[in-house]
Amino acid sequence: MLVEDVAWAKVKIVRDDGTWADAQAPVIVSASRSTDIPAFYADWFFYRLQRGYSAWMNPFNGKKSFVSYQHTRFIVFWSKYPAPLLPFLTILKEKQINCYILYTLNDYEKEGLEKGVPSVEKRIDTFKRLVDELGFGHVVWRFDPLMLTDQVDIPSLMEKVTSIRERLKGYTEKLVFSFADISSYRKVKMNLDRNHILYRQIFAQKDQLVFSRWEFL
């Protein structure tokens, strides 16, 4: 009950300008599903963690709210390239804050579907370095989404997943995946159409994706 009560607690914080504000004080912080904080804003996040709070602007109504780290004991990071976290992990240890990294590690390199991310080899190396720092089980591999195009059929998609799996042996015990439901995401569909990428809806196929139980250890 203590964790539940604290998770919804409101506290008073002193902002950088000296004014007071109400803030939520969660035990668990998710950073963040909508923005890749580890890849692009790791320095900002840990600066704010040291300051004790962050401000968050609701994109729908423009309202600002505050999050206090006073009671935080666990942070869930979501990222496609969390290498910038590595220099800051000692701060978490000093503050006795545990963490869990949901690492999206896909391989659409040849097809150019994820422009701007480092090479697959570099991302796999980062995965291993994070496990070495945080310990086994603290970094979870996500292949998200599983996607079919005119260049990626089911056998080649399974080869991509299997290839990464082989190189992560001993570093992960879990794979989280999802299917690309493109019709549900208008912006994604527009981007694919704009770049002339011919995609196939997995759920509309008579083809079957068969996943066996994999042993990672």
Q: Which two tokens stand for residue 178?
A: 């999802």
- Contact criterion met (CB below 8 Å) for 52 and 23: no
The pLDDT of residue 7 is 54
Q: For a pLDDT cut of 90, what percent of the chain falls above it?
A: 70
Strand 74-79 vs strand 98-104: parallel, antiparallel, or unpaired? parallel
Write out pLDDT tens, residues 106-134.
999 999 999 899 999 999 999 999 999 99
Q: Tell me the C-alpha distance between 181 and 200, whole Å.
A: 9
**Residue 8 gets which letter from DSSP?**
T
Kindly report the pTM of this predicted structure: 0.86
DSSP string, 18-36: S-EEEEE--SEEEE-SSS-
Report the C-alpha gap between 70 and 154 in whole angstroms.
47
Task: Provide the pLDDT confidence category of residue 8 given band limits of 50, 70 and 90.
Answer: low
Q: What's the rounded mean pLDDT across residues 3-16? A: 74
